[in-house]
Amino acid sequence: MIPTSGPPGSVTVRAPAKINLHLGVGAPRGDGFHPLLTVYHAIGIYDDVTVRPSDSWRLTVETAPYLDVTAVPLGDDNIVVRAATLLADLHGVPAHADVLIRKEIPVAGGMAGGSADAAAVLVALDRLWGLDTSDEDMFRLAAELGSDVPFALMGGNVLGTGRGEVVESVRGGDVVRWWVVVTAREGLSTPAVYRRFDAMAADASPRPSPPHRLVAFLADPVEAITGLLHNDLQEPALDLRPELRDVLAAGEKAGALAGLVSGSGPTCVFLCSSADHARGVAAGLDGVGEHVLVANGPVAGAHVVEHA
């Protein structure tokens, strides 16, 4: 059981990776952001953020062996630092904590790992510092930090509008989907993928393509959604990383129901019909990409797993 009172010695919060079952992207708005209509789906690949009391700020990062720890910044450019500063400023408290991020989510992989860390540290520091921040303030800070951060607080299946930061739960939260995830050795820059989108889709409508049919079938058997997965950033990502076409083809050959690039890539994800099917597809993809993982979704958003 997780105690909820008394000053904690440490708090650990777990936050999931996301994939976009549908990612409709419109032409850039006046403020430079692209309007999105997206269906987020949280899957069971996690970053854990542990915070401890301290009289200064310290950030440490550890990663799973398949990730490059040097790709994660340790200074002010880590989104966790920005998240801690925003939360501390809101309440007028010093941003003092000893923070450890343990990463499983691919870095610059199109799975919103940084956003997961930001959501996790907001929840963890709120508890550590005894702030009791309202949900409204939490979601406002999250949206300020990044388009995917409000979703990382929620988890599940979520419709994202605006630039992705306006979030609303959708159906299918209790229907388990199985995925095989193929990571890449080198990440892709999200802004670079959007720039390629702008170059390739110069006539894009300002209104992103809607996921009506997908949302209608989200609670149905897996075959109903197989043909409805869609990602407007897939072609730009493939244009920047042509070898991902081979990864997608390998997934199809290994028997996946459907494959797609996750968000801005380069991670590729493959929909399967069961845990056994996913393990079989994963075995068929052995040696493809940097690392092959099996995960299910949807899973919970940022949540406390340890409060010692």
Residues at the interface with ligand ATP (CB under 6 A): 71-73, 77-80, 101, 107-115, 117, 148, 187, 190, 263-264
Write down the least CB distance from residue 269 to ligand ATP, Å.
13
Write down the least CB distance from residue 246 to ligand ATP, Å.
21
Active site residue 98: no
In the numeric block, which tokens belong to residue 57?
A: 């700020």
**Strand pairing of 177-183 and 291-297?**
antiparallel
Active site residue 220: no
Write down the least CB distance from residue 302 to ligand ATP, Å.
13
**Nearer to ligand ATP among residue 156 and residue 263 (C-beta):** 263
Write down the least CB distance from residue 288 to ligand ATP, Å.
20
| CB neighbourhood size of 119 (10 A) | 34
Question: How far apart are the C-alpha atoms of 260 and 39, rounded to whole Å?
Answer: 14
Residue nearest to ligand ATP (CB): 114
Residue type, 32: G
**Nearer to ligand ATP among residue 179 and residue 217 (C-beta):** 179
Where are the strands (E) in the chain, listed by range? 11-25, 36-52, 57-63, 97-103, 157-161, 166-169, 177-183, 230-231, 258-261, 268-272, 291-297, 303-307
Catalytic residue among 117, 148, 220, 246: 148
**Nearer to ligand ATP among residue 187 and residue 211 (C-beta):** 187
In the chain, how long is the greatest CA-to-CA distance?
A: 57
Strand partners, 304: 13
**Strand pairing of 268-272 and 177-183?**
antiparallel
**Nearer to ligand ATP among residue 101 and residue 257 (C-beta):** 101
Catalytic residue among 18, 117, 126, 232: 18
Active site residue ranges: 18, 148
